[in-house]
Amino acid sequence: MENKINFKLLQDADLKGKIVLVRVDHNVVKKGIIHDPYRIDATIGTLFYIIAKGGKIILMTHVGRPKNKKTGDIVIDDDSSVQPIVDYIQSKLHIKLGIPEFQPNGTKGYTGIKTSINHMIKALRNDEIDGIYLPNTRWFAGEENKGEEGDQFAYQLAGLADIFVNDAFGSWQAHASTVKITNYLPSYAGFLMQKELSNLERIYKPERPFVSVVAGAKFDTKIDSLNTLLNVSDYLVLGGVIYNAYLCAKYGFEIKGIEAEDMEHAKLFVEYAKKYPGKLIELPYIIESETMEGKIDGKYRKLDIREIKKGEKLNYVLDVAKESFLEKPILGVFHNAKTIFVNAVMGYTPHFNEGTIALDELIDENLEAVKLYGGGDTMQELKRLLPGLYIVALDDPKYYIFTGGGAVLKAIEEGTYEGLEPVKALCK
């Protein structure tokens, strides 16, 4: 996995007097509320730099999934608005941002950038406002369109600015605002993008032993990255539903809630794992629950997978027991590791937490290893369950928390960060 930077960096751009269109990944709003501003805060350095060098900023991000995949209808409402993001930035940086308003075309969303934005751009040039924040990019019909409509939207976006900066590592999909825009503007990588890619190198070229921990709800979305990690890691640890499916596929017992599709992928993975004997570390103790409604006394129990017989039927398995991480072989794997990559929540949150806590505490015991955490739920649960550790991790050079766990897995799967289409687009 050899990589070298072959795209232009923000620090190489002449920004003075230029309008700079910045794609960020501020997808942190759920039902109109920001639950964690980490992704916003991570881009502040880029924004400060542009302004300090005399540039004028126009920001854009996607928020949620307002488009119905079946019907194609786009829902424009407060739940997926950028307004909470703007409020946060204005309060934190003491600046004034404008949000242009457009008229939706029925259920098709916004069909393009309208000339009504021109008065706001004039205000930006005259320093009457400090920046512009465009509406949710997924409110625009052209954002996810791979054809002419997508090209047209990208062209319209380009017409707003002189320079494009991509600082949205977590937004790895090939959309108009991340990829097609680079066809029309000089394009640069922002500071966060550079930082994320630099830390990807620590996965591509890890100090060994290299341990990876991956969990998830669906095997089909993880299978390719799991295969890659099994190949490049010295040890791989599974959690969540994908671990449950793996156990069923390997040992022949049944766990309630495992779908047939996940079982098929798990069987393929079990066969693939035979090529790498000793690499896959099985956590022996699991938590079985009669219900998914909560951790209710008398309705959950600890089981040892080594004692479960083929054909036995279990209720829901909702966590890995903390005792799994006290086994000497597993302690040895984590204590001796030099690089640890984590994209995992071990239990069914918010009620089943002990596996995740035990995992994160065990990783923290290793003072020498580089610890690379995926974003999303992995980051959120670290912050919720171990807030002290989370705060320490933000400033500890041995830790790095990515803003996008899905983007990291995609980059691992591709074997190079240029396998991410938005990064590849910057390399033109």
Q: How does residue 1 score in pLDDT terms, banded at 50, 70 and 90? A: very low
User: Do residues 194 and 323 make contact, with C-beta atoms less than 8 angstroms apart?
Assistant: no
Give Cα separations from 358 to 27, 217, 240, 347, 425 (angstroms): 29, 20, 14, 11, 40
**Phi, psi values for residue 164, rounded to 5°:** -115, 135
The β-bridge relationship of strands 33-34 and 29-30 is: antiparallel
pLDDT value of position 239: 96
Structure tokens at 157: 């976006």
The separation between CA 273 and the C-alpha centre of its own chain, rounded to angstroms, equals 26
Cis preceding-peptide flag for 350 (omega within 30 of 0):
yes
| pLDDT > 50? residue 192 | yes
pLDDT value of position 5: 60
Residues pairing with 9 in the sheet: 189
Q: How far apart are CA 356 and CA 240, in angstroms?
A: 10
Residue 58, judged by CB atoms within 10 A of its CB (0-12, 13-18, 19+), counts as buried
**Phi, psi values for residue 165, rounded to 5°:** -125, 125
Q: How far apart are CA 275 and CA 109, in angstroms?
A: 49
pLDDT value of position 2: 41
Helices (H) and strands (E) in the chain, counts: 15, 19
DSSP secondary structure letters along 399-419:
EEE-S-HHHHHHHHHHTSGGG
Q: How far apart are CA 362 and CA 336, in angstroms?
A: 11
Q: How far apart are CA 373 and CA 408, in angstroms?
A: 10
pLDDT mean across residues, the chain:
94
pLDDT digits (tens, 9 = 90+) for 206-241: 999 999 999 988 888 888 999 999 999 999 999 999
Give Cα separations from 380 to 51, 216, 404 (angstroms): 30, 14, 12
pLDDT digits (tens, 9 = 90+) for 50-64: 999 999 999 999 999
What pTM was estimated for this model as a whole?
A: 0.92
Domain 10-197+420-426 architecture: 3-Layer(aba) Sandwich (3.40)
CATH topology of 10-197+420-426 equal to that of 206-396? yes
Q: How far apart are CA 337 and CA 342, in angstroms?
A: 13
Domain ranges of the chain: 10-197+420-426, 206-396
**Phi, psi values for residue 5, rounded to 5°:** -75, 120
Q: How does residue 405 score in pLDDT terms, banded at 50, 70 and 90? A: confident
pLDDT digits (tens, 9 = 90+) for 262-317: 999 999 999 999 999 999 999 999 999 999 999 999 999 999 999 999 999 999 99
Q: How does residue 3 score in pLDDT terms, banded at 50, 70 and 90? A: very low
Report the CATH fold assignment for 206-396.
Answer: Rossmann fold (3.40.50)
Amino acid identity for residue 211 in this structure? V
Q: How far apart are CA 246 and CA 238, in angstroms?
A: 9
Task: Supply the DSSP symbol for 113.
Answer: -
| pLDDT > 60? residue 103 | yes
